[in-house]
Structure 1
Amino acid sequence: MHAAHRGGPTETFQGRSRREFLRAGGLGLLGLELPTLLAAQSLSRSPQLPASTFGRAKACIILFMWGGPAQQDTWDLKPDAPEQFRGEFRPIATNVPGISISEHFPNLARQAHRLAIIRSVHHGDVNHTTATHELLTGKSIPTPGGGPIGDDWPHYGAVLARRDRGKERTSLPPFVQMRPTVPDGAPRFVESSHGQGAGWLGPTLNPFTIDDDPNRPDYHVGAIRLPDDVGSGRFGDRQRLLQTVEVQARHLERSAQIQALEAHYKRAYNLLTARRALEAFDLEREDPRIRARYGLHPHGQAVLQARRLVEAGVSLTTVFWQNDGLTNVSVYWDTHNRNFIDLKTRLMPASDQTFSALLDDLDARGLLDETLVIWTGEFGRTPRVGQGVVGGAGAGRDGRDHWPHCFTTVLAGAGIRGGIVHGASDRWAAHPARDPVTPSDIAATVYHLLGVDPALELADSLGRPLRLCSGTPIHGVLGRA
Structure 2
Amino acid sequence: MRAGGLGLAGLTLADLLRFREAAAAETAARPKSFGRAKSIVLLHLYGAPSQLETFDPKPEAPAEVRGELGSIESSLPGCRVCELLPLSAKVMDRTTVIRSMTHPYPVHGVAFALTGIPRIDVAMELAPRDAQHWPFFGSVVEFLAAEKRRGAGSPPPAVPNNVALPFRFSSNRIGEVPRAGPYGAFLGSQFDPLWTEFRGRATAGITKTLRDMTFTDNDPYVGVDDDAHFTLPSGMNLPGDVTLDRLNRRRSLLDQLNDHRRGVAQSLSAAQLSRHQASAAALLESDTLA
Q: What TM-score results when the alignment is normalised by the length of structure 1?
A: 0.32
**Higher RCO (CA 8 Å, separation ≥ 6 residues):** 1
Q: What TM-score results when the alignment is normalised by the length of structure 2?
A: 0.50
Kindly name which structure, 1 or 2, has the bigger radius of gyration based on alpha carbons. 2
